[in-house]
Amino acid sequence: MKLNALWSLVLTLLSLSLLNAQQIGRCGVGIEDGMKIIEGLEENKKFLAETAFPRADKLYVPLIFNLVSKNEGEGRLDESTIFAQICRLNADYLDADMVFYVKEINYLISNGLYTNPTSSASFNTMINNKGAGVNIFVCERAQHPDEDGQGGTTLGYYSPSGDYIVCRKEEIVSANGTLTHEIGHFFDMPHTFFGWECQTVDGYTYDPAVHGNPLTITNAPCSGGGFNIPVELMDGSNCSTAADRICDTPPGYNFPFSNGFGGPCGTSQDCFDKNGDLVIPMANNVMGYFDGCSSFEFTPDQISLMRADFLSPGRAYIRSSYEPNEALVDPNVAMTGFSPADFETAENYNGVLISWNEVAGADTYFLRITDGAETFQYYTDKTEHYETNLSPGKQYFWFIIPHNETSMCHEGSGVLRFITGSGTTSTKDLISGIDAIALFPNPASIGESVNLYVEAKQIKDIKISLLTINGQTLNVKAQHQITTGENTITIPTSNISSGVYFLRISSDNETTLRKLIIE
Ligand SMILES: [Zn+2]
């Protein structure tokens, strides 16, 4: 098999001068890894035949995104683009009843992995950083730097030996079907045209001058090095042993990379198999290479086999009893209630309360605030955030994406703007109608209840929030009515670790802060 891989590489190199500098996107799963996928597929076929599965069950698939950046931390994927990608992925796997959720997003700094994920050092880095889920390493590229500009760009690949997916950053940004395809490989789905990944000396896959039309060859061009891959026939007679060995996917000879047979979402010329039957590929199959189809699908057999792979003993490490939140965050419901309003000037700069209305189904909000140079981003389960890191007299851009683990199709608020004022939020300030505010004990011990003492001149509604030193809201005590005289309000502080916090007390448009130390 090693020899075969080398041969492919030599042919790729030879074909350089002959190919135009045309950039074609392809997947990096070659014939050697494809054979490992076929081995897995055969095990899954056996498993499927021997096991009675509860077919109707939804399968929850945890994803672990490993966002790779250069040594200096630059170039990392903008993680707000992951939402649209998961939206696409869950739509693509809807028929398979497989629900993907983001279990973890990790940041990895490695210039080597970022620029050359195919090196052995990068392989080790990925193995050492994997977690219990489908691991996706998002790098600048998904191919060896020497291959740049040579016969196409590798968009992504699944490594059976490393059991991880590498995806080019741009693929996630554009939320296209690359990840859908690579996750198919993860579940041991071969290319529908398996055996036709190899190139002729002229840089083609299928070439009638070499392979005939009707075809004259019995084994696909990538055969060799100890294995044969029969050319799949249109009549289905060898469907379980040829190409992808799946019978409801018709034959295809990698027409998009062929000599003149690739068209948008289908063949542009007739190709006949050895029997003289017209070959009609399933152009919109996820595991093919055709472009330009309005939608891409898996066949029922592909779905059964992918589900079997998920349920197989080898995949025990990604299964759990965990059921993610599946509430719908409706992308057609616009977000409302933004504060500050668009283009509003906030009074202060070192304490700006940003808030929005709740979105049905969302349990988390992704918030980003930036002035173009400095960026702050947060995930919060609240509908507000108190930002304390800003500078005076500056325009800031911000947006929010409401979501939960599985429902990520909402585009969010769109970009909003506010300008910071020159005022500062003083912790000495009092709210009108209130004579005194105190916290005790302060410092408090971990787990100890903290009391807020308020002396008021009048009945008043106040709202109390506990914030981290960075302004992240930890909990909100809903509207609380205080009476004339002395009031004592218990602040929930269980589950809060030691550190410095702020208690924010607000009423109407007035806000005051008190520092709270937990030891
Ligand atoms: Zn592929």
pLDDT tens-place string over residues 354-366: 999 999 999 999 9
Task: Give 54's pLDDT tier (boundaries 50, 70, 90).
Answer: low
Q: Ligand 1: distance of its center to the CA of 156 in Å?
A: 8
Q: Is 297 helix (H, G, I), strand (E, B) or coil?
A: strand
pLDDT of residue 429: 64
Of the two residues 203 and 237, the one the predictor is more confident about is 237
Q: Ligand 1: distance of its center to the CA of 311 in Å?
A: 22
State the angle between helix axes of 2-14 and 31-50 in degrees (0 to 180), rounded to the nearest 10.
Answer: 130
The CA dihedral of 247, 252, 253, 254, to the nearest 10 degrees, is: -120
Q: Ligand 1: distance of its center to the CA of 317 in Å?
A: 23
pLDDT of residue 71: 84
**Segments in 200-314 forming alpha helices (H):** 208-211, 300-311
**CATH 2.60.40.1930 spans which residues of the chain?**
434-518
Q: Ligand 1: distance of its center to the CA of 157 in Å?
A: 6
Q: Ligand 1: distance of its center to the CA of 181 in Å?
A: 6
Task: Give 420's pLDDT tier (boundaries 50, 70, 90).
Answer: very high
Token digits of residue 416: 């909003």
Q: Ligand 1: distance of its center to the CA of 80 in Å?
A: 26
Asked if 418 and 345 count as a contact pair (C-beta separation under 8 A), the reply is: yes
**470: pLDDT strictly greater than 90:** no
Q: Ligand 1: distance of its center to the CA of 124 in Å?
A: 22
Nearest to 77 by CA among 86, 69, 85: 69
DSSP secondary structure of 376-428: EEEEESSSEEEE----TT-EEEEEEEEE-SS------S--EEEE--SB---TT
Token digits of residue 168: 């080019």
**13: pLDDT strictly greater than 50:** no
Q: Which of 17-26, 134-143, 360-369, 457-466 has the lowest mean pLDDT?
A: 17-26
**18: pLDDT strictly greater than 50:** no
Q: In the β-sheet with 450-456, what is the strand arrangement from edge to edge?
A: 434-440, 450-456, 485-491
HSE-CB at 318 with a 13 A cutoff on CA atoms is: 28
**284: pLDDT strictly greater than 90:** yes
pLDDT of residue 411: 96
Residue 497: CB atoms within 10 A of its CB come to 6
Preceding omega of 441 cis (within 30 degrees of 0): yes
Of the two residues 462 and 303, the one the predictor is more confident about is 303
Q: Ligand 1: distance of its center to the CA of 492 in Å?
A: 52
pLDDT tens-place string over residues 304-338: 999 999 999 999 999 999 999 999 999 999 999 99
Q: Ligand 1: distance of its center to the CA of 428 in Å?
A: 63
Nearest to 205 by CA among 194, 214, 216: 194
Q: Ligand 1: distance of its center to the CA of 334 in Å?
A: 37
Q: Ligand 1: distance of its center to the CA of 289 in Å?
A: 8
Q: Which of 147-156, 273-282, 423-432 has the lowest mean pLDDT?
A: 423-432
Task: Give 425's pLDDT tier (boundaries 50, 70, 90).
Answer: low
Q: Ligand 1: distance of its center to the CA of 196 in Å?
A: 12
Token digits of residue 377: 């981003």
> 2-186 is classed in which CATH architecture?
3-Layer(aba) Sandwich (3.40)
Q: Ligand 1: distance of its center to the CA of 287 in Å?
A: 6
Q: Ligand 1: distance of its center to the CA of 34 in Å?
A: 9
**CATH 2.60.40.10 spans which residues of the chain?**
344-419
Say if domain 434-518 classifies as CATH 3.30.565.10.
Answer: no
Q: Ligand 1: distance of its center to the CA of 207 in Å?
A: 21
Q: Ligand 1: distance of its center to the CA of 182 in Å?
A: 6
Q: Ligand 1: distance of its center to the CA of 103 in Å?
A: 24
Task: Give 149's pLDDT tier (boundaries 50, 70, 90).
Answer: low
Torsion-angle region of residue 337: left (phi > 0), alpha (psi -120 to 50) or beta? Answer: left
- CA-to-CA separations, 284 to 145, 237, 252, 267, 290, in angstroms, rounded: 30, 23, 12, 12, 7
DSSP secondary structure of 167-191: EEHHHHHTT-THHHHHHHHHTTPPP
Q: Ligand 1: distance of its center to the CA of 488 in Å?
A: 64
Q: Ligand 1: distance of its center to the CA of 202 in Å?
A: 22
Q: Which of 151-165, 215-229, 456-470 has the lowest mean pLDDT?
A: 456-470
Q: How much of the chain exceeds pLDDT 70, in percent?
A: 93
Q: Ligand 1: distance of its center to the CA of 288 in Å?
A: 7
CATH class of 344-419: mainly beta
Q: Ligand 1: distance of its center to the CA of 290 in Å?
A: 12
Q: Ligand 1: distance of its center to the CA of 134 in Å?
A: 16
Q: Ligand 1: distance of its center to the CA of 83 in Å?
A: 23
Q: Ligand 1: distance of its center to the CA of 476 in Å?
A: 48
Asked if 15 and 40 count as a contact pair (C-beta separation under 8 A), the reply is: no
Q: Ligand 1: distance of its center to the CA of 29 in Å?
A: 5
pLDDT of residue 11: 33
Alpha carbon of residue 182 to chain centroid? 12
Which helix (H) or strand (E) segment holds residue 86: the answer is helix 82-92
pLDDT of residue 72: 82
Q: Ligand 1: distance of its center to the CA of 511 in Å?
A: 56
Q: Ligand 1: distance of its center to the CA of 320 in Å?
A: 27
Q: Which of 55-59, 246-250, 265-269, 322-326 has the lowest mean pLDDT?
A: 55-59
**23: pLDDT strictly greater than 60:** no
Q: Which of 146-150, 233-237, 492-496 has the lowest mean pLDDT?
A: 146-150
Q: Ligand 1: distance of its center to the CA of 132 in Å?
A: 23
Q: Give the C-alpha separation, 47 to 270, whole Å.
A: 38
Task: Give 67's pLDDT tier (boundaries 50, 70, 90).
Answer: very high
Q: Ligand 1: distance of its center to the CA of 44 in Å?
A: 19
Task: Give 150's pLDDT tier (boundaries 50, 70, 90).
Answer: low
Q: Ligand 1: distance of its center to the CA of 185 in Å?
A: 7
Q: Ligand 1: distance of its center to the CA of 158 in Å?
A: 8
Average pLDDT over residues 115-140: 96
Task: Give 439's pLDDT tier (boundaries 50, 70, 90).
Answer: confident
Q: Ligand 1: distance of its center to the CA of 191 in Å?
A: 6
Residue 278: CB atoms within 10 A of its CB come to 11
Q: Ligand 1: distance of its center to the CA of 133 in Å?
A: 20
**77: pLDDT strictly greater than 50:** yes
